[in-house]
Copies of this chain bind each other. A is one copy, B any other.
Amino acid sequence: MGNDDSKVFIGKKNTLNYVMAAMMNLSEGRPSLLLARGKTISRAVDVGEIVINKFVKGASYGKIKIDTEKISNDRDGSISNVSSIEIEILPPPKK
């Protein structure tokens, strides 16, 4: 699902920051992969919808993958499970 530099890690910044990052890949004709964990999953979905419906005409969803990641806590070494999502956004088809 694309090389490293097409990945956009969704964190706690303003949604539009991630929209811009995703648009940069798409404008170069490359797919953009939105990655999010836990509570930021909702924001990743927002980013996808804004990119596709408002900014990049013709862009569409590719694969959407849901998974669980194990996160280890540095303080006590405990491991917790966190849900994650990968949303692939495909650039508009070339004319």
A interface with B by C-beta (< 8 Å): 38-42, 45-46, 48-49, 53, 61, 64, 66-68, 81, 83-85, 87
Q: Which of chain B's residues have a CB closer than 8 A to the CB of A66?
A: 45, 48-49, 61, 64, 87
In the bound assembly, the distance between CA atoms of A53 and B53 in angstroms comes to 33
> Is the beta-carbon distance between A45 and B83 smaller than 8 angstroms?
yes
Closest B residue to A41 by beta carbon equals B42
Residue of A61, A67, A81, A83 most packed against chain B (CB within 10 A): A83
> Is the beta-carbon distance between A64 and B64 smaller than 8 angstroms?
yes
Cβ of A14 to closest chain B Cβ, rounded Å: 16
Could you say which of B39, B48, B81, B87 contacts A42, with CB atoms under 8 Å apart? B39
